[in-house]
């Protein structure tokens, strides 16, 4: 079954390049060859190949449009780096990028996708034993390293978009440095490297195989190669020119007190004074986008008829993909498109036709407090690198303009580049992965940017409490080893392992899959408005408080809700969806028809289709892992108590007790929290709860809550504090 992003990307392809069904394939080939030759990187092909031959590690700084991602792997292939069945691996931070680039390169090589050129992302592997150029997500390569610690099948690994510094990229950088060392030592000793390779699946694993040194190429779009070069012991950096049109940068004279208002003014200023061309405005979130959208239309009414030719298009990640696609529709003639976007338009989505960029200089970003383990989203200033990335969006197709809604002096005060993710997220998963890869000394691990000691210690402690680590801080056998194998949050992995003992693995697997995805319940705005009208009419009719009629979505969800809490509610939703799908499958075997039918079921029940599909994918993936570990899918049936016991035992760290004022106190650290109003237990307010999410917004909320099973809990908290 194709994943969502793949179909999304296919639509993108069609929209961007038009129909590919042309029978003039010769012309197409000729055109592709010309395109390839005209890329800036083409002129330095020989030099690049020489540098890779001479150096084990090089850094390539290439601006957008240089062609480095598509061309370099082909140059290396042609230069013989895939001899003896070796593979060139290229990592990307995003799934869509891995797929689109692989398709493009396969076409350039005149090969069928999945043969010489392929890609591998979670839930979707388009590679074969003949694949020599393999695009993949960086997280997937990390997973591969767990099975083959010296990545023996690869002759070259290219880390693309390294400047983005995702957690996965950072862990990979550290790991690859070690892999290089290990392979170099083995190469010099001239004897087979002994390791715990689990998966032996192709010809390059013959027993007396010698491993050539691993070539490592770090590709970055940012201008500071220094950091990477220093990290890799003075590795050589090569600069490749990009293909970018000039962008005029304009600043304000004074700081703007209200960037939303300033954005609005700028949109109209461009619209009335500047030449034709679409506008891309960066905002921080859905709410802000909807507000600006509304305000633009309000102010348009004040303009003369002939100036009202503005078309607004919002785009943010939780928007259904059909609506996201609206940004690619051609603008009607005489109209100016105004794209109101979050950070999604900074890297993930490239929108054609943009000539003007409006950059208020802020971003909503996740902040993690390692002491409290609490995550919150805060609006903060962007970095210089981000500002450059944003302004670059105006110069893709011709000269452009970027309006920075702050004075130039403020720009120079911005930090150079965004703080790497590894320094601002929970490290439990990173630590578990590194332990599984054989790195015991986490504090001493050679990170490019070291996370704080306290964050590492916090994760070590959590993993110890979950039973993943022994008293001397080593990975425990079998619990720790099993936990590291699951592509899940460590606490969810632990819940799965425990639920085998409690004989409710079937239920816990569903819960874990549902908790691993974005919110399952979805209430579109227009539906809410519809319900507001109903409330209003009802209130007039009955002159009573209209709370009962608050939301249609609510009543749709009611049939799923469980008195025991949100977790069993999720189980009911999942089972209802699967049951419905099977019913449809019995009537038709066309996957498309089944998909469509399930989408309709989701819409009728106010369920987020994308999230549900994702949960189904996670569910089937984890099921395979469980089967490999010989864990049988036991169900507790109607014995809800058994499930509550298991949930309590798994998430005892997340237990909270009711206080006299109706708030809750987290038993593990004494923190005061509230039940989120979206919970089915919001009104019930049980004495003691187990939660699986803690978030800070206007208040500190716990979400996804179930009633705790007190006798089980008392085993963990015997002394009342």
**Interacting residue ranges for DNA, rule: CB under 7 A:** 5, 93-96, 121-122, 137, 139-140, 142-143, 166, 168, 284-287, 316-318, 342-344, 348, 363-366, 377, 429, 487-488, 516, 519, 523, 528, 547, 550-551, 554, 676-678, 682, 695, 697-699
Cβ nearer to DNA, comparing 189 with 548: 548
Alpha-carbon separation of residue 43 from 38, 66, 68, 77, 257 (angstroms): 9, 11, 12, 17, 48
Answer whether the bond into residue 478 is a cis peptide, omega within 30°. yes
Picking from 399, 164, 392, 408, the residue whose alpha carbon sits closest to that of residue 280 is: 392
CB of 552 to DNA, least distance (A): 12
Whole-number Å distance between alpha carbons of 445 and 463:
18
Cβ nearer to DNA, comparing 318 with 634: 318
CB of 664 to DNA, least distance (A): 15
Cβ nearer to DNA, comparing 94 with 623: 94
CB of 433 to DNA, least distance (A): 9
Contacts of 262 (CB under 8 A, 6+ apart): 252, 256, 360, 405
Alpha-carbon separation of residue 579 from 87, 126, 572, 573, 575 (angstroms): 43, 30, 10, 10, 6
199 and 34 in contact (C-beta within 8 Å)? no
CB of 17 to DNA, least distance (A): 21
Cβ nearer to DNA, comparing 241 with 561: 561
CB of 217 to DNA, least distance (A): 20
Contacts of 413 (CB under 8 A, 6+ apart): none
What the block records as the tokens of 668 is 């593990």
Cβ nearer to DNA, comparing 241 with 621: 621
What the block records as the tokens of 306 is 């002939």
340 and 357 in contact (C-beta within 8 Å)? no
CB of 463 to DNA, least distance (A): 15
CB of 121 to DNA, least distance (A): 4
CB of 483 to DNA, least distance (A): 11
Contacts of 493 (CB under 8 A, 6+ apart): 482, 483, 484, 486
Contacts of 5 (CB under 8 A, 6+ apart): 95, 96, 99
Contacts of 65 (CB under 8 A, 6+ apart): 40, 242, 243, 244, 396
Helix, strand, or coil (residue 164): helix
Whole-number Å distance between alpha carbons of 586 and 606:
24
User: First vs last Cα of the chain: how many Å apart?
Assistant: 52
Whole-number Å distance between alpha carbons of 67 and 105:
11
Cβ nearer to DNA, comparing 386 with 706: 386
CB of 427 to DNA, least distance (A): 12
Cβ nearer to DNA, comparing 672 with 699: 699
Cβ nearer to DNA, comparing 505 with 520: 520
Cβ nearer to DNA, comparing 229 with 516: 516
């Amino acid at each position: 079954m194709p994943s969502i992003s793949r179909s999304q990307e296919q639509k993108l392809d069609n929209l961007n390049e038009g129909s590919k069904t042309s029978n003039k394939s010769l012309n197409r080939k000729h055109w592709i060859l010309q395109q390839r030759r005209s890329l800036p990187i083409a002129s330095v092909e020989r030099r690049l190949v020489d540098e890779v031959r001479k150096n084990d590690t090089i850094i390539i700084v290439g601006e957008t449009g240089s062609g480095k991602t598509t061309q370099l792997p082909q140059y290396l292939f042609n230069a013989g780096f895939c001899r003896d069945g070796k593979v060139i691996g290229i990592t990307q931070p995003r799934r869509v990028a891995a797929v689109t680039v692989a398709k493009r390169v396969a076409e350039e090589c005149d090969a069928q996708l999945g043969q010489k050129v392929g890609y591998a992302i979670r839930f979707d592997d388009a590679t074969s034993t003949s694949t020599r150029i393999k695009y993949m997500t960086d997280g997937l390569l990390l997973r591969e390293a767990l099975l083959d610690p010296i990545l023996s099948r690869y002759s070259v690994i290219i880390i693309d978009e390294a400047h983005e510094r995702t957690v996965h990229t950072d862990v990979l950088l550290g790991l690859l440095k070690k892999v290089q060392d290990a392979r170099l030592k083995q190469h010099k000793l001239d004897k087979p490297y002994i390791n715990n390779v689990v998966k032996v699946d192709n010809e390059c694993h013959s027993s007396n195989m010698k491993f050539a040194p691993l070539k490592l190429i770090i590709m970055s779009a940012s201008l500071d190669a220094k950091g990477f070069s220093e990290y890799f012991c003075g590795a050589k950096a090569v600069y490749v020119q990009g293909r970018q049109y000039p962008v005029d940068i304009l600043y304000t004279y004074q700081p703007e007190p209200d960037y939303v208002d300033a954005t609005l003014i700028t949109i109209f200023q461009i619209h009335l004074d500047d030449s034709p061309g679409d506008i891309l405005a960066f905002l921080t979130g859905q709410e802000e986008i909807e507000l600006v959208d509304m305000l633009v239309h309000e102010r348009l009414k004040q303009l003369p008829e002939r100036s009202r030719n503005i078309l607004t298009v919002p785009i943010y990640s939780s928007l259904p993909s059909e609506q996201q696609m609206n940004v690619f529709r051609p603008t009607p003639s005489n109209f100016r498109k105004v794209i109101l976007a979050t950070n999604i338009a900074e890297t993930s989505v490239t929108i054609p036709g943009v000539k003007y960029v409006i950059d208020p200089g802020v971003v909503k970003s996740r902040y993690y407090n390692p002491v409290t383990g609490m995550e919150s989203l805060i609006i903060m200033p962007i970095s210089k690198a981000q500002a450059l990335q944003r302004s670059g969006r105006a110069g893709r197709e011709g000269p452009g303009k970027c309006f920075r809604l702050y004075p130039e002096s403020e720009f120079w005060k911005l930090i150079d580049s965004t703080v790497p993710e590894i320094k601002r997220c929970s490290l439990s998963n990173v630590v578990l992965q590194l332990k599984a890869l054989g790195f015991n000394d986490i504090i001493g691990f050679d990170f490019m940017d070291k996370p704080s000691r306290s964050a590492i210690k916090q994760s070590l402690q959590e993993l110890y409490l979950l039973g993943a680590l022994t008293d001397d801080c080593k990975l425990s056998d079998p619990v720790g080893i099993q936990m590291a194998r699951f592509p899940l949050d460590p606490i969810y992995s632990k819940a799965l392992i425990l639920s085998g003992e409690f004989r409710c693995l079937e239920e816990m697997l569903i819960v874990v899959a549902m908790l691993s995805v974005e919110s399952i319940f979805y209430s579109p705005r227009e539906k809410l408005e519809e319900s507001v009208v109903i409330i209003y009419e009802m209130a007039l009719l009955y002159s009573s408080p209209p709370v009962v009629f608050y939301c249609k979505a609510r009543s749709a969800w009611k049939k799923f809700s469980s008195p025991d809490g949100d977790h069993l509610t999720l189980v009911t939703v999942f089972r209802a969806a699967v049951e419905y799908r099977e019913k449809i499958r019995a009537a038709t075997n066309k996957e498309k028809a089944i998909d469509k039918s399930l989408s309709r079921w989701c819409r009728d029940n106010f369920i987020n289709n994308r999230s549900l599909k994702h949960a189904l994918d996670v569910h089937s993936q984890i099921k395979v892992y469980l089967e490999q570990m010989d864990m049988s899918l036991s169900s507790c049936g109607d014995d809800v108590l058994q499930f509550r016991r298991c949930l309590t035992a798994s998430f005892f760290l997340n237990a909270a007790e009711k206080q006299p004022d109706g708030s809750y106190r987290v038993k593990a650290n004494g923190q005061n929290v509230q039940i989120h109003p979206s919970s089915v237990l919001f009104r019930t307010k049980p004495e003691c709860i187990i939660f699986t999410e803690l978030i800070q917004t206007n208040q500190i909320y716990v979400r996804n809550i179930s009633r705790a099973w007190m006798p089980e809990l008392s085993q963990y908290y015997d002394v009342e504090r």
